[in-house]
Amino acid sequence: MAAESNYWSRFWRRRLSRRRLLQTTAVTGAGLAAAGVVGCGDDEGGGGDTQPTATTEASPRAGGTFRGPLVGLSTGNPPSLDSQRQLTFLAQIPAAYHYSRLLKFGAGATKEVDGVTSVQIDFSNVEGDACADVPEIVDGGTVFNFKVRDNLNFHNVAPVNGRAVTAEDVKHSIDIFAAESPNRGNWLAQVDKVEVTGPKDLTITLKNPFGPAFQVLFGNNDGGPWVIPSEILDNKDVAGKTPIGSGPWIFDSWEPNVVIRWKKNPDYYDAPLPYMDGFEGLLTADPEQILANLKNETFDGSLWSADLWTRGRSELPQGQWFTGPEHVWGGAYFNFANPPFNDVRVRQALSMAIDRPGILSALDQPRATGGGSGLTHISQYDKFWIDPINDAAEFGPNAKYFARDVTEAKALLSAAGFPDGIDITANSSNIYGPGFGKQMEAVSDSAREAGFRMNLNLGEYGGYLSTTFLGDIPPDGIGLAPLIGSPIDPHNIIFAVFHPSSGRHNWGPKGAVPAADLPKANDPSPAGDADLLALWTEQAQEIDEEARAALLKDVQRSMAESMWLVPWPGVSTAYVYQPWVKNIRLIRGYGFGVETAVNMWLDK
Partner 1 sequence: MRQYFIRRALLVVPTVLGVTLLITFLLQILEGNIADLIYAESATFNQELTKEQIEDDLGVNDELLGSRSLGIFVQWGEWMGGVAQGDFGEYFRSRRSVGGELENRIPVTLELAGLALFFSLIIALPTGVISAIRQDTLVDHTARSFSIFMLALPSFWLGTMYFVVVGRWDDWGLPQSIGDWLLPPSIYKDVWQDPEANFRQMWAPAMILGFALAGSVMRLTRSQMLEVLRQDYVRTAWSKGLRERTVVTRHAIKNAFIPVFSLIGVQITILVSGSVVLERIFGLPGLGLMLIEAVTQREYVAVQGVLLVVAAFVVITNFLVDMVYSLLDPRIRYA
492 binds partner 1 (CB under 8 A): yes
Q: What is the DSSP string of 61-73?
A: ----EEEEESS-S
Task: Name which of 142 and 486 has its Cβ closer to partner 1.
Answer: 486
79 binds partner 1 (CB under 8 A): yes
Q: How far apart are CA 378 and CA 385, in angstroms?
A: 8
Closest approach, Cβ 76 to partner 1, in A, equals: 10
Task: Name which of 138 and 534 has its Cβ closer to partner 1.
Answer: 534
516 binds partner 1 (CB under 8 A): no
By CB under 8 A, name the one of 18, 193, 207, 241 that touches partner 1: 241
Q: How far apart are CA 146 and CA 98, in angstroms?
A: 21
490 binds partner 1 (CB under 8 A): no
Q: How far apart are CA 316 and CA 116, in angstroms?
A: 13
Closest approach, Cβ 113 to partner 1, in A, equals: 27
Using alpha carbons, list the distances in angstroms from residue 325 to 82, 108, 190, 485: 26, 9, 27, 12
Residues 435-474 that bind partner 1 (CB under 8 A): 461-463, 465-467, 469-470
Using alpha carbons, list the distances in angstroms from residue 8 to 1, 5, 22, 45, 266: 11, 5, 21, 11, 29
Closest CA to 210 of 200, 198, 219: 219
59 binds partner 1 (CB under 8 A): no
Q: How far apart are CA 152 and CA 163, in angstroms?
A: 9
Residues 278-307 that bind partner 1 (CB under 8 A): 280, 282-286, 288-289, 291-293, 295-296, 298-299
Closest approach, Cβ 258 to partner 1, in A, equals: 5
Determine the 3-state secondary structure of 322 from DSSP.
strand
512 binds partner 1 (CB under 8 A): yes
80 binds partner 1 (CB under 8 A): yes
> Which residue intervals of 364-507 are DSSP H helices?
392-395, 406-415, 433-448, 461-466, 490-493
580 binds partner 1 (CB under 8 A): no
504 binds partner 1 (CB under 8 A): yes
Q: How far apart are CA 559 and CA 563, in angstroms?
A: 5
Closest approach, Cβ 356 to partner 1, in A, equals: 24
By CB under 8 A, name the one of 257, 310, 318, 390 that touches partner 1: 257
Task: Name which of 87 and 411 has its Cβ closer to partner 1.
Answer: 87
DSSP 591: T
Closest CA to 223 of 188, 250, 261: 188
Task: Name which of 472 and 523 has its Cβ closer to partner 1.
Answer: 472
> Which residue intervals of 270-355 are DSSP H helices?
287-295, 309-315, 344-353
603 binds partner 1 (CB under 8 A): no
By CB under 8 A, name the one of 55, 242, 501, 558 that touches partner 1: 501
Closest approach, Cβ 509 to partner 1, in A, equals: 16
Task: Name which of 358 and 485 has its Cβ closer to partner 1.
Answer: 485
Q: How far apart are CA 221 and CA 89, in angstroms?
A: 10
Closest approach, Cβ 73 to partner 1, in A, equals: 14
Task: Name which of 447 and 488 has its Cβ closer to partner 1.
Answer: 488
By CB under 8 A, the count of residues binding partner 1 is 75
Residues 85-114 that bind partner 1 (CB under 8 A): 85-88
Preceding peptide of 69 cis, ω within 30°: no
Residues 118-147 that bind partner 1 (CB under 8 A): none
Determine the 3-state secondary structure of 141 from DSSP.
coil
By CB under 8 A, name the one of 23, 28, 75, 125 that touches partner 1: 75
Closest approach, Cβ 463 to partner 1, in A, equals: 4
Task: Name which of 142 and 284 has its Cβ closer to partner 1.
Answer: 284
Task: Name which of 169 and 489 has its Cβ closer to partner 1.
Answer: 489
> Which residue intervals of 261-400 are DSSP H helices?
287-295, 309-315, 344-353, 356-363, 392-395
Closest approach, Cβ 344 to partner 1, in A, equals: 25
- Contact region for partner 1 (CB under 8 A) — 15-23, 76-84, 161-169, 329-337? 76-84
Task: Name which of 57 and 288 has its Cβ closer to partner 1.
Answer: 288
By CB under 8 A, name the one of 165, 496, 532, 552 that touches partner 1: 496
Q: Give the CA radius of gyration of the chain.
A: 27
- Sign, CA dihedral 392-396-397-402, equals negative
51 binds partner 1 (CB under 8 A): no
534 binds partner 1 (CB under 8 A): no
Please, which residues bridge with residue 420 across strands? none
How crowded is the C-beta side of 281, counted as CA atoms within 13 Å? Answer: 30
Task: Name which of 101 and 149 has its Cβ closer to partner 1.
Answer: 101
Closest approach, Cβ 604 to partner 1, in A, equals: 16
Whether 83 and 226 have beta carbons less than 8 Å apart is answered as: yes
